[in-house]
Structure 1
């Protein structure tokens, strides 16, 4: 019995020593593999432990990626919201009429040194007509229910600017305002989503 017990103790110690040795070998192999992978990715010749630490992705980088994704989704949502808002009103025609009114206004306020270029009744038509066209265009954008009324008045004023405001802002302002007013009048109403249009067509 004593001999068996005496023989059992060294075998247990040997097994424990062998297990520790295998654990150390596996850990060294894992560290060497990590260091090789890190060197392949980074191309630097640092020590195995340091490159393994740097090769592991940090949670801060993941958080930055998530924040970028959230910003991208927010931007996409804003663009979709603006597209939907634009489709519900005569946006392009209103913008063109606004640009034409601005051009008419500044064409009536030209100063070349001591010479001021201004046709028509001085100061009145060159100021009132462009401002009225701009206001009507903005009303047609933000109050699209009465777009026909606003568009007709803006069209009349745009044509009249050929006589009253520096030949219609040297023709450019009159053309912009006229085309914008025609687009405002010809607008067919708000557009629904594409799915609802497909259901209606059926």
Structure 2
């Protein structure tokens, strides 16, 4: 058995217990939206304060994507807010990262919102107990 199988299986189990791919898409979208206004200083000075909403929206999307990895019970709120920020980035941030960030954000938000936890491990079946008659002898 290869030695990397055990950590890989642990990661797979961890990944399946949370909306991993939705969070991953949200982190990518946030990074994409956040990185576009971070141009060289000469371009940033020309752009002015217009780059601030892009950076803030990108950072919030990254935080939301990471939050569903480590706190999956916030998946509904994070999914809705990620989708709303992605649509707002379409207007406020260079067409939402030239549409790539917006599309990734909408996809990630939808995946986060739609994710449901898997079924828990089945409980052990109860052992069959013999049916004893009533000790008082009463008939039903």
Residue-by-residue CA offset, 1:138-190 (whole Å, 9 max, x unaligned):
10111001210111111100110001111100111111111011100000113
In the alignment, which of 93, 97, 107 is matched to residue 169 of structure 1? 97
What's the secondary structure of 1:124's corresponding residue? helix
Q: How far does residue 76 in structure 1 lie from its aligned partner after superposition?
A: 1.1
Q: How many correspondences in the alignment?
A: 123
2:20 to 81, 87, 91: 91
Q: For residue 79 of structure 1, what is the aligned residue in structure 2? A: 8
Larger C-alpha radius of gyration, 1 or 2? 1
Q: Residue by residue, what CA displacement relative to the aligned partner does 1:34-59 show, whole Å, maximum 9, x if unpaired? A: xxxxxxxxxxxxxxxxxxxxxxxxxx
Q: Matched residues in 2 for 1:124 and 1:99: separation?
A: 19
Could you say which structure has the higher helix fraction? 1
Is it true that 1:179 corresponds to 2:107 in the alignment? Answer: yes
Higher relative contact order (Cα pairs below 8 Å, separated by 6+ residues): 2
* C-alpha distance in structure 2 between counterparts of 1:92 and 1:141, whole Å: 9
Task: List alignment gaps of at least 5 residues for structure 1.
Answer: 1-68
How large is the Cα RMSD of the aligned pairs?
2.4
Summarize the Cα distance change of 1:76–1:125 in structure 2 as closer, same or farther, 3 Å threshold. Answer: same
Between the aligned partners of 1:192 and 1:122, the Cα distance in structure 2 is 48
Question: If the length of structure 2 is used for normalisation, what is the TM-score?
Answer: 0.77
Structure 1 residue 128 corresponds to structure 2 residue 49: no
Q: CA deviation at 1:109?
A: 1.8
C-alpha separation between the residues in 1 aligned to 2:10 and 2:101? 31
Moved segments of 4+, more than 2 Å: 113-119, 121-124, 190-193
One of 125, 143, 148 as aligned partner of 2:76: 148
Task: Evaluate the alpha carbon distance shift between residue 104 and residue 186 of structure 1 in structure 2; reply closer, same or farther with a 3 A threshold.
Answer: same
Q: TM-score, normalised by structure 1?
A: 0.55
